[in-house]
Amino acid sequence: MRTDVMAKDYLRRAKSRLIDAKSALDRGDYPEVVRYSQECVELSLKACLRAVGVEYPKVHDVGDILKACSVRFPEWMRAHLEEISTISRDLAEKRSPSMYGIEAAGKPPSELFDRKDGENALKQAKFVHEIAEKFIVEFFEADR
């Protein structure tokens, strides 16, 4: 499959995760907001890596890979890579607890995440997705 098709598909799916995260926030399901936001960030960043031809490892946090390949991205995007990497790492660490809780402590996801956590995760996901979307649009327009 072509790189542009894969990258655009990942970005479209990331946008769907944003919609799901907003819906979960409206329902008060804060662990789901965190989970969907993490998936949005992961898909957004993998779209960027796919666009520039980087084969990334099959892990949830690819922020460090993005930074390692920073020369492949425009200067305006490189200025955000540290923050993007931090967001990716933070949400990836919350991925499993947002789904399963902390079983050893007997804590379900609903006791671990509150509205503030959900709002913050969604804000971060929107930020990353907007940057990824801008990059993908510019990258493939320049390719024409």
pLDDT at 143: 57
DSSP 72: G
Rg (CA), the chain: 15
CA dist 51 → 3, 47, 89, 91 (Å): 6, 6, 21, 23
Residue with tokens 């967001």: 87
Average pLDDT over residues 24-41: 98
Closest by Cα among 60, 34, 49, 35 to 132: 49
The full set of domain ranges for the chain reads: 3-142
pLDDT category at 41 given cuts 50, 70, 90 is very high
Closest by Cα among 108, 136, 144, 123 to 8: 136
Provide the 3-class DSSP secondary structure of residue 87.
Answer: helix
Q: For 44-102, what is each residue's pLDDT tens digit?
A: 999 999 999 998 888 999 999 999 999 999 999 999 999 999 999 999 999 999 999 99
Task: Give the contacts of 88 (CB within 8 A, at least 6 positions apart).
Answer: 41, 42, 45, 61, 62, 63, 66, 128
Q: What is the CATH number of domain 3-142?
A: 1.20.120.330
Alpha helices in 52-114 (DSSP H): 63-68, 75-78, 81-100, 109-112
Q: Which pTM was predicted?
A: 0.95
Structure tokens at 28: 């008060």
Q: For 2-27, what is each residue's pLDDT tens digit?
A: 788 999 999 999 999 999 999 999 99
